[in-house]
Structure 1
Amino acid sequence: MSSFEAVFGGSPEVVARAPGRVNLLGEHTDYNDGYVLPIAIEQQTSVSMRRNNEGRYVLRSEMLDCTVRFTLDSPPTEHFATYVYGCLVEAHAAGIKTPASDIYVQSDVPIGVGLSSSAALEVATLRAVRSLTGELVDDVLIAQLAQRAEIKHAGVRCGIMDQMASSLAGTQSALLLDTRTLERRLIPLPPGSAVLVLDSGLARTLAGSGYNQRRAECEEAARRLGVISLRDVNDISVADTLPEPLRRRVRHIVSENERVLLAAACSGAEEFGALMNASHASLRDDYEVSVSELDRLVALLQAHSHVYGARLTGAGFGGACVALCEPQALPEISEGVLLDYSRSGFSGRMLVPSSARDRSVRP
């Protein structure tokens, strides 16, 4: 394993970290000005920085074993580097003078499974810039700059949930976030429950998936209904005049917002889990972002006696599933479910609660 010292010589001036996240409820609602309920995970991305005299940025990714050089006027062509470049450009546009620097990225946030590795990279980069420059940049502005970076420079028309969760959420309580107003509060997990995340083994790339298509469909539905966004639709029946698939897209967004608010108010794990189960059905049938691997893994989780509820998490089209479980049964659940999943011909692994206890089961 390399290090900043080994690559650049000497020590970094600053080191900043940011976590990945898993979304418990509120999928695809963030870019519709709706409600979301993410929670941070233990895995983090770290970004080390030091000013250099090269007049350009030198970016090294430990995970990808790749070094990229660029300036603010000459963007990189490597996709992972566009996230860092975008953060630097957007910080500069906000009046934060980012000096040419050596940048070293390390991460144990899994890529391509719906745990927001990109948001962790963006937030960690901007936190490093904040420390390096001494600029007074609050955590909400960091999330907003990170979102702009991903939309404008990485080509993903994301909502702000991932960046707000990475910038503001903790690992013990979920963040109830109104993505329109950015009002937020922490919601403890129901008593006697813990979060488990299993990787389906099917990677997906947001920019190359149906994510942007779903967002465009929501915008078209809102236009036809005469509202600013689907957040403003409270009665699902008003969508009955819309053609398919717009009617089903509206149905998912409206019902998913309701589920988030119900989950934030409920006190029992069984009720919370039932809302997660309903969310997956909506994502599968109305929003059409699930796939056979995700459906199989979710079905196995939902059928387990120590699982309260389960659903896909992230944008879909592959990636991970999240389950609310009895805490003492997490090893039993993950091992049993992954074994049955492998017997179905698929390969999965445990991602959360801890990468140190990561287990893979292959057919």
Structure 2
Amino acid sequence: MCSFEAVFGAPPGVVAQAPGRVNLLGEHTDYNDGYVLPIAIEQQTTVSMRHNDQGEFALHSEMLGSTVRFTLDTLPAEHFATYVYGCLVEARADGIHTPPLDIHVQSDVPMGVGLSSSAALEVATLRALRALTDQPLDDVRIAQLAQRAEIRHAGVRCGIMDQMASSLADTKSALFLDTRTLDRRLVPLPPESAVLVLYSGVARTLAGSGYNQRRAECEEAAQRLGVVSLRDVDDISAADTLPEPLCRRVRHIISENARVLVAAACCSAGEFGGLMNASHASLRDDYEVSVPELDQLVALLQAHPNVYGARLTGAGFGGACVALCEPQALNEVSQVVLQDYSDEGFTGRVLVPSLSSTV
């Protein structure tokens, strides 16, 4: 564990943080201009920085134990550095002064599990840059620059949900977000409910998964249907006019948007859980982004009597699942389900122990 001062020999000028997130409903809808319902988690990424006079940026990752040096003229070879580099380049293009900096990153947001560690890094970087340069950069603009950084420089054609959640959500209420208009409001969790996040033991990376392929399929489907994006399709029967696999991709997006709208109307825990179960089935069968380990872990959660519902969370292809549970049974649920999962030859763990309703 090397602090900023241990690495760079002096204290930082500013320190900023941003949380990871777990998405409760609305998977793969954000890059289709749809609706999402994420909530921030307690785990945070911390970015510290100060000006230097070295003529180049020095970026130290405490998690990786390495320091990367770069200028804004060339994309760094190290993948983790591309996220920070992208934020700096996009901030500069937006008129923000970005002099050479010493940058230190520390994070307890789990990586590669679907909790948006990349967005937390991007938002924390831009928050620190805002504080250091005293620029009038609001939280929505931070999310937009962070998304642009990930698309243009890290190679992930992401929607804006993760960045908006990291920049604007909290751990007490879900953030209902219209990703087309960026209209948003906080939505309480259903009464007498709590969120549990478990890791499947299967890591995934978006740039190397089928994520970009799914986005391309949605774009092709929208073009065939004559709409700007799949957000503009309300009638699920429109999917039947398309060939495989486009018809199933469209069916997921339309039905998932509808599930988010129902959930955002503050439904009961039981109804919310049913929507989560339906979401997982759709992600597994129509969108094909689940894996056997996720399916098994979700099935074990759904079968537990103190669980209202469960689904994979994040883009899929591995990672984590999220469950809505009775608050008093969280420990029992996690212990029983993970033991059963282990008995079947898999290794999982608790990622986010509890996000509870206030009612």
Normalising by structure 1, report the TM-score.
0.97
1:180-229: CA deviation from partner (whole Å, max 9, x where unpaired): 00000000000000100000000001000000000000000000000000
Which secondary structure state, in structure 2, belongs to the residue aligned with residue 175 of structure 1? strand
Q: C-alpha root-mean-square deviation of aligned residues, in Å?
A: 0.9
Show CA shifts across 1:98-117 (max 9, x none): 11110000000000000000
Deviation string 1:141-184 (CA, Å, 9 cap, x unpaired) is: 00000000000000000000000000000000000000000000
1:254 CA displacement: 0.1
Superposed CA offset, 1:249-299 (max 9, x none): 000000000000000113310000000000000000000000100000000
Q: Does 1:116 align with 2:99?
A: no
Taking the aligned partners of 2:13 and 2:338, their CA distance within structure 1 comes to 43
What does 1:91-240 correspond to in 2, within 5 Å? Answer: 91-240=91-240
Q: Quick one: distance in 1 between partners of 2:66 and 2:336?
A: 37
Q: What are the residue-to-residue correspondences of 1:289-308 with 2, within 5 Å?
A: 289-308=289-308
AA aligned to 1:204 is: R
Structure 2 residue aligned with 1:26? 26
Match of 1:340 in 2: 340
Aligned to 1:64: 64
Distance 1:10 1:354 in 2: 37
The CA distance in 1 between the partners of 2:66 and 2:305, in whole Å, is: 45
Q: Report the number of matched residues.
A: 355
Q: How far apart, CA to CA, are the structure 2 residues paired with 1:308 and 1:241?
A: 35
Aligned partners of 2:19 and 2:166 also within 8 Å = yes
1:359 is matched with which residue? none
The match for 1:360 is: none
Structure 2 regions of 5+ residues with no counterpart? none
Which secondary structure state, in structure 2, belongs to the residue aligned with residue 203 of structure 1? coil
Q: 1-side partners of 2:266 and 2:83: how far apart?
A: 37
* Alpha-carbon distance, 1:241 to partner: 1.3
User: Are the counterparts in 2 of residues 70 and 76 from structure 1 also a CA contact under 8 Å?
Assistant: yes
Q: Are residues 1:9 and 2:13 paired?
A: no
**Equivalence for 1:272:** 272
- Which residue number in structure 2 is paired with residue 358 of structure 1? none
- Give the residue type in structure 2 aligned to 1:8: F
Distance across 2 between alignment mates of 1:205 and 1:24 = 20
Matched letter for residue 129 of structure 1? L
Letter in 1 for 2:333: I
SS in 2 for 1:265: coil
> In 1, Cα distance between the equivalents of 2:134 and 2:282?
45
Give the structure 1 partner of residue 82 of structure 2. 82
Q: Residue 302 of structure 1 aligns to which amino acid in structure 2?
A: Q
2:187, 2:266 within 8 Å by CA — same for their partners in 1? no
Shift of 1:238: 1.3
* Amino acid aligned to 2:170: G
User: C-alpha separation between the residues in 2 aligned to 1:106 and 1:134?
Assistant: 23
1:234-273 to 2 correspondences below 5 Å? 234-273=234-273
Q: 1:71 to 1:354 in 2, by over 3 A?
A: farther
1:281-332 C-alpha deviation (Å, 9 max, x unpaired): 0000000000100000000000011100000000001000000001111111
- Work out whether residues 300 and 337 of structure 2, in 8 Å CA contact, stay in contact via their aligned partners in 1: yes
Question: Share of identical aligned residues, percent?
Answer: 81
Q: What's 2:352 paired with? A: 352
Q: Structure 1: which amino acid aligns with 2:330? A: L
d(CA) in 1 for partners of 2:279, 2:241: 24
CA contact (8 A) 2:114 2:315 kept: yes
Secondary structure of the residue that 1:177 maps to in structure 2?
strand
Deviation at 1:354, TM superposition (A): 6.2
CA distance in 1, matches of 2:194, 2:102: 39
Instruction: Note the C-alpha offset of 1:236.
Output: 0.8
Distance (Å, rounded) in 2 between the aligned partners of 1:47 and 1:135: 17
Letter of the 1:331 partner, please give it: N
Please give the alpha-carbon distance, in whole angstroms, between the structure 2 residues aligned to 1:252 and 1:267: 21
Residue segments in structure 1 that go unaligned for 5+ positions in a row: 356-363
For 1:59-106, what per-residue CA distance to the aligned partner results, in whole angstroms no more than 9, with x for missing partners? 000001110000111221100000000000000000001111100000
- The normalised TM-score by structure 2 is 0.98
For residue 310 of structure 1, give the secondary structure of its aligned residue in structure 2: strand
Instruction: Name the CA distance, whole Å, in 2 between partners of 1:201 and 1:232.
Output: 37
